[in-house]
Structure 1
Amino acid sequence: MARWFSDRRREAAQGTLQALYSEGLGRVPGWDRNPRAAAGEVRWYGLLAQLVEFRAEGNDWPRHKKCASEREHTLGVWLHAQRQKRRLGELEPRKIEHLDDALPGWRTGRTRGRPAS
């Protein structure tokens, strides 16, 4: 059933969904929303909130290698991926805006190496 809905969502996006299907599916709430994409959005905003909290605790930017904790690693990998996507032009402008607003300096992060103790 999930595959069938997926196929109909794709057809609707391409403008090739038959009118009869469109009329019938119009009665099914949320049929046109992709659950995987929605879950990805929830995860993205959840990780953004976690990173804001991490920084508010006085931590430096999280690393994606040689981390002090699993939490730092998770946030560091996520932040690294956001930076890479931005550089490649693959990060949505609204997400860049959210990052800019919530975490000024996220684009550059820390300087190389560990800070002096």
Structure 2
Amino acid sequence: MTHTRWRTSSFSSNGASCVEVLEADGATYLRDTKEHGEGPVLHLDGPAWTAFLDEVARDVPSANGAVDVTAGADDGRAVREHSSGAVLHFRDDEWVAFRRGVLAGEFGGPSR
């Protein structure tokens, strides 16, 4: 996954520490910019991504079948992929910036 099309929410602080998203091959991938491209990459197919965006927007527990989002350290979030068990850890400010981008419709789906 060394594509140059990874992107972050416009609400992120200069893309330095945030949720990164790549849309490719009919799927969506998530990674953490703090890992500098060396950490886990989570995969969500189209229906799971749509459900995930809705869950993030509504700030409700995950039921999308691909990833679970749980409270992490310092009020952040941990995102665990079901199929691989890989986990991404985001600080609260990173998750808030991503959620604001989701609410603004930056990653597809209906904006709220």
TM norm. shorter chain > 0.5: no
* Shorter-chain TM-score range: under 0.3
Between structure 1 and structure 2, the one with the greater Rg is: 1
* TM-score of the two chains, using structure 2 as the length reference: 0.26
More helix by share: 1
Give the TM-score normalised by the residue count of structure 1.
0.25
Q: Which has the higher strand share?
A: 2
